[in-house]
């Protein structure tokens, strides 16, 4: 087993020194294995999104350490964390909507355009990943003209366009039906076996939990089982 990410005694407390203080993550020490799918289950409010946000370098823990490929990232500069996040991590978060008026290609190319890649180069790369997703004949359709499953694949393509080593997905099946869920999981699985992608997914969907290689469960901010 090769550990790609480790959290050591990580805590996240929101609203410290206020009456609304919440320990969203309590003393979480976990190891994420490279090129495997790790699912984090547990009821709503148990701290899954917060833990994913810490692992994905979106927020810093209140206490504890986060180690990604042997680098202790909880205390390094914001600039360094941003670079690491951009180079290594792709996200499928519920709040990251596609832009319906833009085409699939344009949506997928967006993260590259944010980093000084030329438009033609960005679109070339976007086209390549859409092809890998079996979406070549939908590349120039506007997202508004696509089915739910196709839109889902565009989101994955956008998360993967920079070839991240790690994919973090928060409740990826929450707004799609069972058939689309199976399709989505199959697409992600092929990226794991073909590219060695490491996947961390938060979900309370039994389909997703069954599909994962490793399942951890959270309850009231704590990892209660692995």
Ligand X SMILES: Nc1ncnc2c1ncn2[C@@H]1O[C@H](COP(=O)(O)OP(=O)(O)O)[C@@H](O)[C@H]1O
What are the residues binding Mg ion (CB under 5 A)?
48-49
- Residue 198 interacting with ligand X (CB under 6 A): no
Query: Which three-class secondary structure state does DSSP give residue 212?
Result: coil
Q: Which does 36 bind (CB under 5 to 8 A by kind): Mg ion, ligand X, none?
A: none
Q: Which does 141 bind (CB under 5 to 8 A by kind): Mg ion, ligand X, none?
A: none
- Residue 15 interacting with ligand X (CB under 6 A): yes
Q: Of residues 18-77, which lie at the interface with ligand X (CB under 6 A)?
A: 22, 24, 42, 44-50
Cβ contacts of 53-56, under 8 Å, gap ≥ 24? 54/7, 54/10, 54/12, 54/25, 55/5, 55/7, 55/168, 55/200, 56/85, 56/89, 56/91, 56/166, 56/168
Q: Which does 47 bind (CB under 5 to 8 A by kind): Mg ion, ligand X, none?
A: ligand X
Q: How many chain residues are in contact with ligand X, going by CB under 6 A?
A: 12
Residue 80, CA distances (Å) to 57, 75, 92, 95 in order: 10, 10, 22, 24
Cα 64 to Cα 223: distance, rounded to the nearest angstrom = 15
Q: Report in angstroms how near the CB of residue 2 gets to ligand X at its nearest.
A: 27
* Residue 171: DSSP 8-state: S
Q: Which does 15 bind (CB under 5 to 8 A by kind): Mg ion, ligand X, none?
A: ligand X
Applying CB under 6 A, the residues found at the interface with ligand X are 14-15, 22, 24, 42, 44-50
């Amino acid at each position: 087993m090769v550990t790609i990410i480790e959290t050591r005694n990580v805590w996240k407390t929101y609203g410290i020194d206020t009456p609304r203080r919440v320990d969203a993550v309590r003393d979480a020490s976990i190891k994420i294995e490279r090129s495997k799918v790790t699912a984090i289950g547990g009821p709503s409010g148990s701290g899954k999104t917060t833990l994913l946000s810490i692992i994905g370098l979106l927020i810093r823990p209140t206490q504890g350490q986060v180690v990604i490929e042997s680098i202790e990232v909880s205390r390094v500069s914001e600039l360094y964390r941003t670079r690491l996040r951009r180079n290594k991590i792709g996200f499928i978060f519920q709040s990251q909507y596609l832009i319906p008026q833009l085409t699939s290609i344009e949506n997928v190319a967006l993260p590259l355009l944010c980093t000084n890649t030329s438009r033609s180069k960005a679109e070339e790369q976007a086209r390549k990943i859409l092809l890998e997703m079996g979406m070549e004949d939908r590349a120039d359709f506007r997202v508004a003209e696509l089915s739910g499953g196709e839109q889902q694949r565009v989101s994955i393509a956008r998360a993967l366009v920079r070839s991240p080593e790690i994919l973090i997905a928060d409740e990826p099946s929450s707004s799609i039906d069972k058939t689309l869920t199976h399709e989505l999981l199959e697409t992600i699985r092929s990226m794991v076996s073909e590219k060695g992608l490491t996947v961390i997914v938060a979900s309370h969907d039994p389909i997703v939990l069954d599909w994962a290689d490793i399942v951890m469960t959270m309850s009231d901010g704590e990892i209660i089982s692995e």
